[in-house]
Amino acid sequence: MVQFHEHIITDLLDDSNGGLVILSSGLSLSKLISSLILLHSSSQGTLLILSPSSPSIKSKIFFHLKALNPQFHQVPSEITADLPAHHRHSLYSSGLIFFITPRILIVDLLTNKLPTSNIAGLIILNAHSLSETSTEAFIVRIIRSFNRNAYIRAFSDKPHAMVSGFAKVERTMKCLYIRKLHLWPRFQVYASQELEKDPPVVVDIRVPMTKYMVGIQKAIIEVMDACLKEMRKTNKVDVEDLTVENGLFKSFDEIVRRQLDPIWHTLGKKTKQLVSDLKTLRKLLDYLVRYDAVTFLRYLDTLRVSESFRSVWIFAEGSYKIFDYAKKRVYRLERSDGVKLNESDRSVKNKKRKRKGDGKDSEEVDGPSSTSSSTGLVLEEVLEEAPKWKVLREVLEEIEEERQKQDVAREEAVVEDEGDDNGIVLVACKDERSCLQLEECIVNSPKKVMGEEWKKYLLSKLQLRDVVRQKKKPKDPKGFGVLDGVTPISPAQNAEASISKLEHDALLAAASGIRVLAEKDCVVEDPPGLDSGGRRRGKGKGKVGSKNGPVIIDGSGVHNSKKVATRAMHGGTNIDNMVLRKHTSADATISTNVKPLPPVHFYALESDQPILDVLKPSIIIVYHPDMTFVREIEVYKAENPSKRLKVFFLFYEESTEVQKFEASIRRENGAFESLIRQKSMMMIPVDQDGRCLGLNSTVEADLTNSQNSITRKAGGRKEVDKEMQIIVDMREFMSSLPNVLHQKGMRIIPVTLEVGDYILSPLICVERKSIQDLFMSFTSGRLYHQVETMVRYYRIPVLLIEFSQDKSFSFQSASDIGDDVTPNNIISKLSLLALHFPRLRIIWSRSLHATAEIFASLKANQDEPDETKAMRVGVPSEDGIVENDVRAENYNTSAVEFLRRLPGVTDSNYRAIMDGCKSLAELALLPVEKLAELMGGQKAARTLRDFLDAKYPTLL
């Protein structure tokens, strides 16, 4: 355990009220929590830890508890909803430590299953995600009201999230009733001294990017800058936040959306699209340095198809460079006469770009002599490898050389600390895919890995072509749109209009060759040294050229076997060498002179596991730099000062990877500086005992002094207001509305309801829908069923549509609302719902607080709901009878539904018909005069009678 953790724990233990701890990312929050848990004794009471949203921190806490104290038997167990109520009650009284979800805890608090006097304290692990309306704040408020001695300890290792919004930290502390704020940045004196006392040996390797990678990065940043300039023109976003540096982080999307959400419905389509485009461009920058060239090109192809019509960035001035350079990293196009299509002069680049959609025009760039009938096309592989792959291999080779030297030295002389160097090499990557690919590179070779990716890419093109063909076949007449062999349908129909037809044909031809050979199952390994001889000539479209035998495709995209015959390996064709002409490079000889490599462990940073404490590596290679992981390495070295640790950092030189890493440190330091300033000026209200008062302290004060508010009536007494109570479905505690209702002074009764979400009175039942839930419920048809049951059991069924406070109070802009009823429009769906259920009341609420006000006004002249009756509504008894369902008890529900669908029967007369006859059989025998009397008109009666008497048409 590091010493600055001891300082944090000491500070927390000094204050019996608790505190809020914000520490730098990567400073091992899970170890800190584990140490606190070890200090808990059962005599203090039960300690509850609110389960965080990510399960990784929970697993880390369990791991560190076992590592810190193997004899510790009180490993926290989890309280789940599966446990019966009496069992949960006994656990709460046991004085042990438990993980529990906020939803279960709040329900048990409201139903008095949890004896609050037995709670020693509460630990909250995600303080950065709290607000005054969150369930955690609700829990703390109830615990504080019954047990003022319980401590609340909240933690966060995301300081930048604690400075978003106005006075976030102050508001969080007030809603948790906490007075003390503990800030522990990386530059804090105790932390920096300890982490820098015995640092690991660090080797910083700057890997130069290839010229095409530099070109793509420059083009993306240009396009991103252009999009940001367009955003600034709206005058609706804080200009200070709109920088390319901020655009590198995920939180940038949140910053922009938070500013634009309240006015989202007033924005034009272009501004909305710009927000989405900035997110896409950030991903592109990340993927450029993270993935290989073929994967990057494949992702660009999906963007071209999915975003081509809507996106603003694709039509920006420099965007074509992104696609062009990405293609050049994977393959080149040449004519059979040796002219490189992709390497033409800059002067004709714009002309070529304009003509890319038309194969004939692109043939005529270099003069009239090159015609589509006489000139073929050669596809040459480039398959540019990631520069870091080669460097990683060199680093591993160097590590193995050093290790062999050390082994020799150990044999000659006894070396101290021999047992401390276990020789484990750890390579840390961003994600699982990168780990698998790097492992493949080391086990096989980078060349083979790129070849496999290239084959997948080509086959995906073929699959797309087949899918489009299948869609086209039923619609088109015979011979139209159905093409032969390798030639695809025209690119304009294939949503790839920007790729030239010849280029598209060349890719499909290569893919067809792969598929033919795979189907024939004639793949053999390519024996070295057979490039110059041992070949035979072959004919036909199915065979594709090997190393020096290019495939020739004429202007129509068909193999021109008369001009240059394709060649295949004797005894079979190797898939690695069949995809047209290989691009030879100096690295091709690497397989002949392989140096030994050490055993390597790969770790995906996104998995967030305590890998350093598990493996205890001696050498760490940080392949994808990450600030949090760097801090974890520092803590690991501080905990093991005698361990010889060497760390290699692989950065792409002058890349956004470096910028992002440095910017993340600057951003965190800036967040802590802001927090330090806030702490110096913070005002926390306290009561006479020195305890913190919450955000609703004024309401509490009014309640306590209510009896003295009017002294002129009956000796200072005032009639006690009747306490409002609302029955709430258990599932609704995922939302914040029960918390806000409780703040308003209403009593919340959590039960499992079969019908509705909130029961306000014996007559009023409310089904609450957030905007997202409303759209999903309409799509699935669930809402229709929910409203139908509410209408059946309650006199006043209510559909509450609740908007978020920080978003626009509008479904869609006025310009998007059409005149006609359409099945896809949300307004049309609501209109149909209202027409189908005339008794349904629809209430629109701007926010949670507005909903609480609406509920209070609806309950003003109503009786309080009965808990037991509400629970029984919609639940059949042993006899199959459903209580309160008047229709189900007195009538055949199916027969009533059938009656209401008959011609002439309306909402105004179907009840009179039911009163006048006992069954449908009796109805069918009634004369027209009697029907007219029941239905309130001769016309309606005649319509029904004609329908009942109509002859059924037969074929005889």
- Position 531 scores a pLDDT of 37
Taking the C-alpha atoms of residue 436 and residue 456, their distance in angstroms, rounded to an integer, is: 16
Among 498, 292, 509, which Cα is nearest to 379's?
509
In a 3-state reduction of DSSP, which class is residue 651? strand
Taking the C-alpha atoms of residue 769 and residue 829, their distance in angstroms, rounded to an integer, is: 15
Q: Which residues pair with 882 in a beta bridge?
A: 876
For 883-917, give the secondary structure using H, E and C.
CCCHHHHHCCHHHHHHHHCCCCCCCCCHHHHHHHC
Q: Which residue type, as a one-letter code, is found at position 417?
A: D
> Mean pLDDT in runs of 10 for the chain (956 residues)?
88 88 91 88 86 81 83 77 83 87 88 86 89 88 87 91 84 88 91 89 91 91 84 70 68 71 72 83 88 90 76 80 89 68 41 36 32 53 87 90 83 54 85 90 87 85 72 48 37 43 75 70 42 36 35 35 31 34 35 70 89 89 92 91 90 86 89 91 76 60 42 50 83 88 89 90 91 86 87 90 78 66 78 87 90 90 85 68 50 78 85 85 89 88 89 67
Secondary structure element (H or E) that encloses residue 204, with its range:
strand 201-207
Stated pTM of the model: 0.73
- Position 520 scores a pLDDT of 60
- Position 602 scores a pLDDT of 92
* Beta-sheet pairing, 119-124 with 841-845: unpaired
- The CATH architecture of the domain made up of 3-194 is 3-Layer(aba) Sandwich (3.40)
Q: Within 13 Å, how many C-alpha atoms sit on residue 188's CB side?
A: 19
Residues 603 and 633 sit within 8 Å (Cβ to Cβ): no
Same fold, 388-408+422-467+595-651 and 725-812+824-872: yes
- Position 630 scores a pLDDT of 92
**Rounded alpha-carbon distances, angstroms, from residue 602 to 40, 233, 426, 607:** 37, 46, 6, 12
Q: Which CATH class is domain 211-335?
A: mainly alpha
Among 530, 610, 515, 606, which Cα is nearest to 570's?
530
Taking the C-alpha atoms of residue 456 and residue 514, their distance in angstroms, rounded to an integer, is: 10
- Position 124 scores a pLDDT of 92
For 357-401, give the secondary structure using H, E and C.
CCHHHHHHHHCCCCCCCCCCEEEEECCCCCHHHHHHHHHHHHHHH
Residues 424 and 618 sit within 8 Å (Cβ to Cβ): yes
What is the CATH number that goes with domain 388-408+422-467+595-651?
Answer: 3.40.50
What is the CATH number that goes with domain 893-949?
Answer: 1.10.150.20
Domain residue extents for the chain: 3-194, 211-335, 388-408+422-467+595-651, 725-812+824-872, 893-949
- Position 708 scores a pLDDT of 43
Topology of the domain comprising 725-812+824-872: Rossmann fold (3.40.50)
- The phi and psi torsions of 790 (rounded to 5 degrees) equal -65, -45
Q: Which residue type, as a one-letter code, is found at position 57?
A: I
Taking the C-alpha atoms of residue 384 and residue 700, their distance in angstroms, rounded to an integer, is: 68
